[in-house]
Chains A and B, each alone.
Chain A
Amino acid sequence: MRTLKLILVLSFAMAVASPFISTKVAAALTASKKPSVEKADAVPQSKQAQPVDASQYVGSDSCSECHGAESTHYALTAHAKTKVLNAPIDKHGCESCHGGARNHVDFYLNIQKLNEVGKEDEATALMNDTAKAAAANLKSFSKMSSAESTATCLKCHEGSQGNAEERFNYRRSEHARHGISCNDCHSSHAPKRTEFLLKNTEPNLCYTCHAEQKASFSKPFHHKVPEGGMKCSDCHNQHGGFMGKSLRNSVNGDSACVKCHADKQGPFVFEHAPIKTEGCQSCHTPHGSTNPKLLTRNLVRFLCIECHSSTPGLPGEPVGNQTSASHDINNPRYQNCTVCHVQIHGSNADRRFFR
C-alpha cells in the first residue's frame, strides 16, 4: 500500500519535473534551428509578457474604419473594458487578439490609394500577390487550431481575473481534450448574449453538441433545465475543474449535488456509505429519467437488492448485507425499502435508517 502511494507521489513528481528537463531540451533544439522570433510565436505569451512593439500597432480606431460593425458591437462587450486597464496588452483593443495591424493596414491602404489615383491594374496585381497578402493577414481565429486559438484567449483568461479557479485547469479539461476551443462557444464580435459573449444561451448552446441531453431532459423526471430553473453550468464546469465529466465541486469539495440538496450532505452518525464513497450517481441518474426520483431503477426494491444481496465467498462479503428473510417481496410493505428505511441518505439515530 505504502509502495503504491510512494509510486503515485513519485510519478507525479516525475511528471512535474520532466517538463523542466524537456523545456531545456526543446529550448536548446529550437534555439539551434529557429530564429528567436519564431520561438516566441510558438508558445503563447502570458498577458504581462506580451511583447509590445509600438510600431506594429495602429489602434482600434483604424480597425473601425473598415470593420465598423465588429468594432461597434465590440464597444458593448466586456472586452471593450480592456481599454481602460493598464497592462500593455490592454492598450491595443482589437490588436490584443489579432496582433499588430501595421502591415495589414498599410497593405490595404496602398491598394486603396492605387485605386484612388486610377491605377486599378496595379491595385489588382497587389491584391493578387499572395505572398504580400499573406504577410498582411492578421491572426484569424477561424484558421487556427483549437489549441492555438485557446492559447490566445488563455493569455488573459486562464488566471483568476474572471472567477477564481474557474479556468485554472482548462488545459486539462474535457473540452480542451476534445479539441473544443473558446471560439466554439464564445464569439467576440457577434455573441447572442453579450454577457459572457456566448454564441447562444444555455442550455441551447450546450445542445448544439450534446444533443442527446436535450432528449434526456424531456423525460418525465428531470432536473429543471428545460423550465429555466437550472442550467448546465450549475453542475458542470465547462472550463474544466478537477472532477470527472467536468463536474463542479461544492465549496467543501463534495459533489455539486449538495449545493442544492444540502440536507443530504450530512455528515451523519450512520452514513449510507455508498453516497459518500461513490456519490449520488450510485442510485440516481442526474439528467433525466423515466423513473421517479431520478433513480436508476424504476422500483426502489430492485435498486436496493442489487447491492444488498451479498454473495457468500466474495471479498468484502459483509458489504451490502442481504435483506432479511422476513422481507417477503410478496408483501406490499416490502416492495419499497424506503417506506421504512426513510432516512436512506443517513441517520443520526438509527443505523438501519428507520429514523
Chain B
Amino acid sequence: MKSNIRSIVLSLSRTFAGATMLALLFGLGVIAQAQSVEKAETSQQARAQDSELDRAKAITTKPGENKPSKPETGRTWGLYSTVTTLEIGHRFVDTDGSLDRYLSDVNVRDGFRVLDYSLDMRAQPGTGLLFDFLHADVNNAGGDQNQTFSLRLDKTKWYRFDSNVRRFNYYRSPGPNFALGYRNHDLRQQVSDYSLRLFPQRAVRINAGYSRSMAKGRSNPTYYYERDIFQMFGNTRWEANDYRLGIDATYRKWDFAAEQLYRNFRNDPGMTSRPGEDLGFNPTDSARITLLDRDMPQRARSLVTRASVRGSIADRLHVVLRGLRDDERMRADYYEVSSGRNRSGVTLVSNIIQLLSPGGIVERPSNRFDAGATLDVTKNLSFSNTFNYNSFKINGDMLLQTTAVTQPTTGPQVTSVTRNAATAYITDQTSYQNTVEMNLNFGRKFSSNLGWRTQHRDVVLAGIFSTPTSAPSASNPLIKNEEESINTNSFIGGFRVRPTDRLSFMFDVESGQNNNAFVRISPLDFTRFRVRAQIQATDKLGIIGTFTSTDRTNPTPQVLNESDSRSYTIAFNWEPKQRVMVDAGYDYNDLFATGNIRYTLSGQRFFGQSLYYARINSIYVNTRFGLTSRLDLLMAYYYMMDRGAPSVSLAVGDLLNAYPLKRHNPEVRLAYRFNNNMTGNLSYRHFSYNEKEFAVQDYRSNILTSSLRFTF
C-alpha cells in the first residue's frame, strides 16, 4: 500500500513535470506537429459545416424566397446537394537505418496515391429517385499501409446499403535475434463488409449481408525439426466468408430480431525449404534439411442462429433477451515430406508426416444467452439486472502418422512408422454472470451507480493423447484431465458530477475478483478506478485530465503475481476560430508486473521472479494556423519514450525485462487554397525510432508528400 502511494505521488509529480515541460515548449514556440497531418482539416474544411448549411438552404428554399448565398464548396444538382473531393499525390520516402523495422512500424512507401476521394449526395428528404443519400469514400488507395473504401446509400422506407473494404499491408521485421523473432512476413489483409437492409423504417425489416476477411502474402517462418530450428519459405493464404440473412420487426412496444449466418473458412498455408542444404541455426548439430514441402489446409464452416427480443412493459420495465447458437466444424489435413539428416546423423531418405483420413476433425457447439432488465422506479431511480450465460465445448480428434525411411551407413534402408492419436480432446467452458445495478440521478448535475457482479465458471480440459502402439493406460495418458471451477464477485460503483455546465467530474471503480481462472496468474483480485475531470473553460477551450489505476494481484502465496498500471493524462483543445486550432496532450503510463517463475539457466533450475517495467511518456500536439486566407500551416508532433526499468536490486533468480525506446514524429504541412475548388498540399513527415539495447533496429525516415485536392 505504501509503495502504491509512493508510486502515485512519484507519478503525479512526473505528470506535473511533463505538463510544465509542455507549457514551456509552447512558450518557446518550439513545437510543430501532428501524427496524421496529411488528414488534418484545413481552415476550409473546418468551414465545411457552414458550407453544408448553405447547401441545405439552397435545397430548402421555397419558390419566391430570397436565393441563399452560394456555398463555398459543393453544389446543388437538381434535388441533390453534392460535394465531391479528390486528392491525388505522390510520396517520396527516404529511410536510413533498419528498413525492416521501418516497414514494420510505418510502412509508407514511394509512389502515386489517391489520398482521398469522397462523394456525398443528399436529396431533399423523401425525394430521391433511386436514393436519398449516397456517400462514397476512398482513402490512401494505391499502396499505402492502410487503405479504406466505403459506400453507403439509402432510400427512405425502401433500403439502406452499407459497405466498406479495408486493406492493410502488414510487414513484420525478422528482428535482430532469436528473442525478437527471426521470422518475418509481408501480408496483405483485407476486411470487407456489405450490408443491405430492406424497408428500414417499416414494421418488418429484412437484412442481408456478406463479410469477407482474408490475408495473403509471403513469410519466412521458423520450423522446429529434429531438435533444431530452420527458417523456411512460407505462403499465407486464408479467407473467411460470412453470409447472413435476417429479419427484424416491431410490434407495438416490442422489437424482435432473428438472423441466420453461414460462415466458411479456408486456410491454405504452405511451407518449403530454401534451396540447397539447410544447416539450421545450430550448424554444429547433425540435423539437416535438404528438402521440405508442407501443406496443411484447413476447412471450417459455422452455422450461427441468433435471435433477440426487446420491449417495455408499462413503460417502466425495459427487457431485452438474446440467444445465440453456434455450430462450428473444422476439418484439417496435414502433409509434409522432407529429406535430410536426423539429429543422430542418419540420412533421412524421406520423412512423411500426415494426418490420416479423415484428418483432424474438430467440432465446437456453443450457446450464449443474455438477458437484461431495467426498472425505472422513478424518474431518478432505476434498477438493472444483466445476466449472461456462455458455454462451448471443443471436441477434437486426429491421427498423425510419421513414416521415416532412413539409410544407415551400412545395410538396406529402414522404414519406421509411428502414430500419434488424440481422441476426444476437449476444451469445455461454461460460465454464468449476473450484474445487479442501481442508477440514481438528480437532474443534470449528479448521477451515480452502484452494482454487484457475480460470476461462476467451469473449465474442463480432457482427452487422451497417445501412441496407439502402446495402448492408453493409467500410466500412458500423456495429458491429464484438468478441471477448474471458480466463483468470483466484484463491486461496481461510480458517479458523475456536473456542478456547472462547463465542469464535469467522473469517478468510477470496480473492485473484486476477475474471472481469469485458467491462467496460472489467476484468480485475480483487482481494483480499477478512473478519475476524470473535464473543463470547458470557454466555448473554444476544453481541458481534460484523467487518472486511471489498475492493480491486480494473485492471492495465492506461492504465486505472488502482481500487475499494476497507472495512467495520467492531461489534454486540451483550443479552437478560438476556424483558422486556429491547437490540440495537445501529455500522458504518463507506468506499468509493472511481477510473477514467480521457474526456468533453467546454464544448466541450473532457478526459482525467482520476472519483473516487467514500462514507463512511457507520450506527448502529442496538433495545430492548425491559417496564416492567410489562403495558406494554412498544419503541424504535429508525437513523442513517445519508454524509460524501461528503474534501478532495482535483483535477488538471485530474478529476471528483469524492459524495453526502453524512443520514437518521435514531427510533421508539417502547407496547404494553399488556389480557389474554393483546388488546394495544393506539401507535407513532410519524419519518423525517428531508437532502441536502447538494439540500436541495429533504429531507423529514421523522411516522407515528403505533394498533392492536389479538388473539391467541387
Contacts and interface: CB of A to CB of B under 8 A. Distances in A.
A290 B658 CA distance: 10
Nearest to B547: A212
Given A218-B35, A277-B459, A316-B482, A348 B518 contact: no
Interface string A1-34: 1001100100110011011101100110000000
Interface stretch (B375-383, B409-417, B669-677): B375-383
Interface stretch (A96-104, A107-115, A123-131, A252-260): A252-260
A263 B215 contact: yes
B596 A267 contact: no
Given A8-B456, A147-B439, A290-B616, A348 B330 contact: yes
Contacts of A207: 571
Nearest to A285: B591
A286 interface: no
A348 B135 contact: no
Interface string B350-382: 000101000111111010101111111111101
25 contacts: A8-B456, A15-B385, A76-B59, A81-B132, A85-B201, A158-B310, A171-B384, A179-B441, A208-B544, A212-B569, A229-B166, A242-B322, A251-B211, A252-B324, A267-B328, A282-B516, A291-B659, A298-B659, A299-B179, A306-B520, A319-B482, A323-B599, A328-B602, A329-B601, A349-B332
B486 to A, nearest CB: 10
A309 B253 contact: no
Contacts of B145: 224, 227, 229
B441 A322 contact: no
Interface centre among B558, B569, B600 (most CB of A within 10 A): B600
Contacts of B634: none
A270 B400 CA distance: 13
Contact of B224 (A274, A292, A322, A354): A354
Interface string B574-597: 000000000001010100010111
A355 B328 CA distance: 22
Interface string B530-547: 001010000000101010
B60 interface: yes
Contacts of B661: 220, 290
A233 to B, nearest CB: 12
Interface in A269-321: 269-271, 273-274, 276-278, 282, 290-292, 296-302, 305-311, 313-316, 318-320
A177 interface: yes
Given A211-B546, A342-B223, A305 B386 contact: no
Contact of B364 (A220, A267, A310, A318): A267
B694 to A, nearest CB: 11
Interface string A145-186: 111100000000011110011001101100011110000000
Given A15-B387, A23-B316, 11 more contacts: A20-B317, A168-B255, A211-B571, A215-B616, A252-B304, A262-B240, A290-B661, A305-B599, A310-B520, A319-B484, A351-B479
Say what secondary structure dominates the interface of chain B.
strand
A76 B56 contact: yes
B422 A351 contact: yes
B520 A273 contact: no
B313 interface: yes
Interface in B28-60: 35-36, 39, 49, 52-53, 55-57, 59-60
B585 A214 contact: yes
B213 A292 contact: no
A220 B689 contact: yes
Nearest to B303: A252
B296 A46 contact: no
A164 B56 contact: no
A325 interface: yes
A274 B316 contact: no
Interface stretch (B3-11, B87-95, B118-126, B468-476): B118-126
Given A179-B447, A319-B484, A333 B585 contact: no
A173 B587 CA distance: 27
Interface of A: 1, 4-5, 8, 11-12, 15-16, 18-20, 22-23, 26-27, 42-46, 48-49, 69, 72-73, 75-76, 80-81, 83-85, 142-148, 158-161, 164-165, 168-169, 171-172, 176-179, 190, 192, 194-195, 207-212, 214-216, 218-221, 224, 226-230, 242, 249, 251-253, 259-260, 262-263, 265-271, 273-274, 276-278, 282, 290-292, 296-302, 305-311, 313-316, 318-320, 322-323, 325-330, 332-333, 335-336, 339-342, 348-351, 354-355
B614 interface: yes
B189 A260 contact: yes
A218 B221 contact: no
Interface in B298-336: 298, 300, 302, 304, 306, 308, 310, 312-320, 322, 324, 326, 328, 330, 332, 334, 336
Contacts of B310: 158-160, 168
A277 B334 CA distance: 27
B255 A329 contact: no
Interface residues of B, number: 222
A262 B213 contact: yes
B238 interface: yes
The 7 closest A-B CB pairs, nearest first, are A269-B396, A229-B146, A215-B587, A15-B385, A348-B360, A348-B332, A179-B447
B72 interface: no
Contacts of A311: 520, 558-559, 596, 598
B324 A269 contact: no
A146 B601 contact: no
A181 to B, nearest CB: 9
Contacts of A146: 441, 444, 447, 496
Contacts of A269: 332, 360-362, 396-398, 422, 425
A337 to B, nearest CB: 10
B374 A171 contact: yes
A174 to B, nearest CB: 9
A195 B569 contact: no
A206 B330 CA distance: 39
A271 B427 contact: yes
Given A84-B125, A252-B304, A342-B221, A75 B60 contact: yes
A267 B363 contact: yes
A160 B443 CA distance: 29
A196 to B, nearest CB: 10
B561 interface: yes
Given A22-B375, A148-B379, A277 B518 contact: yes
B125 A267 contact: no
A211 B571 CA distance: 7
Nearest to A349: B334
Contact of B458 (A1, A172, A214, A350): A1
Given A147-B379, A251-B244, A318 B482 contact: yes
A160 B308 CA distance: 10
B436 interface: yes
A296 B594 CA distance: 12
A328 B317 contact: no
Contacts of B343: none
A84 B382 CA distance: 35
A315 B567 CA distance: 34
B52 A160 contact: no
Given A323-B599, A333-B229, A12 B56 contact: no
Contact of A340 (B229, B252, B567, B589): B229
B373 A15 contact: yes
Contacts of B332: 269, 348-349
A342 B224 contact: yes
Contacts of A270: 396, 422, 425
Given A73-B56, A76-B81, A327-B600, A164 B454 contact: no
Nearest to A296: B593
A297 B659 CA distance: 9
Given A319-B520, A339-B182, A84 B600 contact: no
Contacts of B265: 262, 265
A161 B250 contact: yes
A276 B105 CA distance: 29
